[in-house]
Structure 1
Amino acid sequence: MRFDTLHLDHIGIRVTDLATAEAFYAKLGFLRDPGEFAPEAKACGLVHPTGLRIHLIYNGESADEGNVLLDAPIKRPGYTHAAFIVENMDDLVAWLAGEGIAITEGPVTMGHGRRSVCFIRDPDRNVLEFNEILAH
């Protein structure tokens, strides 16, 4: 049997504090979807005007080593980051500076037509990557 995957539904991001995470992601344009708030599951759905969805899973505990998938000396399997496409990297970089959000790496231009590797971290040290697709 074969099936077709139509598109990505949402990205789940584990956080320690819902209010702090929700305020951070609201700066990026994600707002709470009242129909996807499930306190019993400690999950809160956010939606961007483009239709992109994320779920904040607010049952995390802070780790001394930071992000346990990326910052700990032993690298464990798991999702390391979400990557988003932006229209203009320079606009993003200027906006991040104005918001006081540190860029942890980049941006750099990659050989495959992307100006990418512009990484930031959310308040729980979850990694977000931004890419600009360059005209060929």
Structure 2
Amino acid sequence: MNFDTLHLDHIGIRVTDLATAEAFYAKLGFLRDPEEYAPEAKASGLVHPSGMRIHLIYNGVTAEEGNVLLDAPIKRPGYTHAAFIVENMNELVDWLAREGIEITEGPVMMGHGRRNVCFIRDPDRNVLEFNEILA
């Protein structure tokens, strides 16, 4: 390898409705970056105050089976989720309850108690993982 990969630039998330997705991700602190809004490509770049970036690709169609990578009986290759680190899982869980965002799994300890993990879904059933690193 003749180059170093320094950081992850962004995560692309396919959605069906841009306004609905932007409103959901705004609750998580991601706001549209006008420099990365490309209607001709059906893409909207969002940035979090921490500097994390996601791109909403708004050309999705609703699938009857939900998330085709995770909910369909045949497990096809592809990206299954994005994972984020939080400082306090209890605060996240309380906030999710206040916002009416369902936790689909967890919180649960993983990695020999190294991290506390929970999962949610966005309006298009894309999976988001949150980790509190304990040790």
Q: Normalized against structure 2, the TM-score is what?
A: 0.97
Letter of the structure 2 residue corresponding to residue 106 of structure 1: G
User: Helix, strand or coil for the counterpart of 2:73?
Assistant: coil
Are 1:115 and 2:116 an aligned pair? yes
Letter of the structure 1 residue corresponding to residue 77 of structure 2: P
In the TM superposition, what are the counterparts of 1:25-36 in structure 2 within 5 Å?
25-36=25-36
Letter of the structure 2 residue corresponding to residue 53 of structure 1: R
Whole-angstrom CA distance in 1 between matches of 2:81 and 2:53? 15
In the TM superposition, what are the counterparts of 1:70-109 in structure 2 within 5 Å?
70-109=70-109
Q: CA deviation at 1:89?
A: 0.1
Deviation readout 1:76-117 (Å, 9 max, x if unpaired): 00000000000000000000000000000001112151111x
- Segments of 4+ in structure 1 off by > 3 A? none
Q: Is there any run of 5+ residues in structure 2 with no aligned partner, and where?
A: none
Letter of the structure 2 residue corresponding to residue 56 of structure 1: L
Q: Normalized against structure 1, the TM-score is what?
A: 0.97
- The equivalent of 1:58 in structure 2 is 58
Q: Is there any run of 5+ residues in structure 1 with no aligned partner, and where?
A: none
- The equivalent of 2:130 in structure 1 is 130
RMSD (Å) for aligned C-alpha atoms: 0.8
Letter of the structure 1 residue corresponding to residue 115 of structure 2: R
Letter of the structure 1 residue corresponding to residue 16 of structure 2: T
Q: Percent identity?
A: 85
Across the two proteins, how many residue pairs are aligned to each other?
A: 134
User: Helix, strand or coil for the counterpart of 2:132?
Assistant: strand
Whole-angstrom CA distance in 1 between matches of 2:115 and 2:6? 24
- The equivalent of 1:41 in structure 2 is 41
Whole-angstrom CA distance in 1 between matches of 2:87 and 2:50? 12
Deviation readout 1:16-69 (Å, 9 max, x if unpaired): 000000000000000000000000000000000000000000000000000000
User: Helix, strand or coil for the counterpart of 2:33?
Assistant: strand
